[in-house]
């Protein structure tokens, strides 16, 4: 089981629905209304904040890749 599947299995139905809506907005490049921020030192990596959940993704040309779905902790933004 990868990290994204693991975090999804721990979420409640309400959190999953909010996350789904955010992911659909990201996929459609509708960033208005999202708490979006570019991560330091990277031109193509962003995070969206929703409560204590963080969605970290990379956007290149017309491809969006979800890198992490995490609850906010002190380790959320550390590079591997």
What is the reported pLDDT for 1?
A: 55
39's CB contacts (< 8 A; 6+ apart) are: 45, 46, 47, 56, 77
What is the reported pLDDT for 18?
A: 87
What is the reported pLDDT for 23?
A: 87
What is the reported pLDDT for 36?
A: 92
Binned average pLDDT, 10 residues per bin, the chain of 80 residues = 77 86 88 90 89 87 85 68
pTM metric for this prediction: 0.75
Domains in the chain: ranges and CATH:
3-71 (3.30.2310.20)
What is the reported pLDDT for 77?
A: 66
Cβ–Cβ under 8 Å, residues 36 and 17: no
Cα–Cα nearest to 66, from 74, 54, 50, 78:
54
């Amino acid at each position: 089981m990868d990290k994204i599947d693991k975090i999804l299995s721990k979420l409640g139905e309400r959190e999953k629905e909010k996350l789904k809506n955010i992911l659909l907005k990201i996929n459609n490049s509708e960033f208005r209304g999202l708490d979006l921020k570019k991560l330091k030192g990277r031109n193509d990596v962003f995070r969206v904040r929703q409560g204590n959940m963080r969605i970290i993704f990379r956007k290149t040309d017309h491809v969006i890749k979800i890198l992490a779905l995490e609850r906010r902790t002190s380790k959320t933004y550390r590079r591997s």
